Amino acid sequence: MRSAGRRSFGPYAGAYEAGIVAPEIGNRLLTINHCAANDSDVKALTHYDGETLARNLVRGILPGVAIVFAVVYAFRRSLVSAGAVATLLLLASLISNVRFFSGMRRRQDSTKDTNAVELLEVSASQVLDLEALGDHAPALCFFVGEGKALLLVGQWLLPYDPFPVKSFRIRRWADNKKPIRIEITGEPLHAANSTVRLRPGHRFGKIELFDARPETLQDDLDRALGTRKR
C-alpha cells in the first residue's frame, strides 16, 4: 500500500523515494508538496546574480546620496541641512540593504531544509481572466478539480510567456507563502474573459486556493476573500 501511494504522485515519485519531496495534498489536477530550495529559488529573489551589499553601496546608494546632498544644498545653501538629509537617506538605504541580504542568507540556508519550499503542481482545463482591482492585475482563476479554484493575482505573473498554460508548477516559500517563480510544463491555455471581479473589500495574497465552482464563482470568491455580495 505504501509503495502504491508513492507512485501516485507522478513526476515527484522519484524525488519522494529519495526523501526530497514530502507529498501532502493531492487530487487529479492539483498536488501540493514540500522540498528544499535550490539555487534558482535563491536567485529569484533578485534580478542581479552575485549582488552584494558593497556593490550596492558603491553603484547605487552612494551616488544617490550624493545627488540628494547636491540638490538639498542647491536649494537651502546649508551644509548642515544637506548633510542631515543625505545621512538619513544613507542610513535608511543601509538598513534596507542589510535586511535584504540577511534574508538572502537565510534563504541560502534553506537549500538544506526539505520543507522550505512549497510546490504546487497545477493542471487545468479552464481558466478565467477576472476583473482585477487597481494594480492587482492580472487576476487568473484556474479550476483544479474537486470543487477547488486557484487564484493567481499580480504583476509577478507578467514575465511568464506563454501564460496561462494547461500545466505548471508554482514554487513558493513555505513560511510566508510568497511566490518564488513558476515553471511552465504545458501548452498555452486561453483565459476566457469573465465579469467576476475582485472587490475593494477582498483580502487576498498573490496565491489563493479556495472552494469554488464556475457557475457560483463571484459568490464563492466573496465568501473566501471576506466580502459579502452587495
From the DSSP assignment, how many helices (H) and strands (E) are in the chain?
A: 7, 10
Q: What are phi and psi of 45, to 5 degrees?
A: -70, -20
- Same domain as 151, residue 98: no
139 in the same domain as 26: yes
Beta carbons of 171 and 41 less than 8 angstroms apart:
yes
Note whether residue 209 is domain-resident.
yes
What pairing do the DSSP bridges indicate for beta strands 167-173 and 179-184? antiparallel
Task: Look at residue 43 and tell me if it is in a domain.
Answer: no
Maximum Cα–Cα distance across the chain: 80
**What is the tens place of the pLDDT at every residue in 183-227?**
999 999 999 999 999 999 999 999 999 999 999 999 999 999 986
In terms of average pLDDT, the best of 50-54, 61-65, 102-106 is 61-65
Same domain for 127 and 199, yes or no, is yes
> Do 221 and 126 fall into the same domain?
yes
Q: pLDDT digits over 115-146, tens only?
A: 889 999 999 989 999 999 888 889 999 999 88
What is the pTM (predicted TM-score) of this model?
0.66
Same structural domain, 126 and 221? yes
Q: Say whether both 102 and 127 belong to one domain.
A: no
Rounded CA-CA distance 205/221 in Å is 13
179 falls within a domain: yes
State the total domains in the chain.
2
Cell numbers 534563504 correspond to 107
**Amino acid in position 104:** M
In a domain, 48, yes or no: no
Question: Range of 61's domain?
Answer: 53-110
Instruction: Look at residue 47 and tell me if it is in a domain.
Output: no
Q: Please, which pLDDT band fits residue 62 given cuts at 50, 70 and 90?
A: confident
The answer, yes or no, to whether residue 13 has pLDDT greater than 80, is no
73 lies in the same domain as 179: no
Q: From CA 130, how far away is CA 149, in angstroms rounded?
A: 13
Q: Output the pLDDT for position 21.
A: 37
DSSP lists the bridge partners of residue 192 as 128
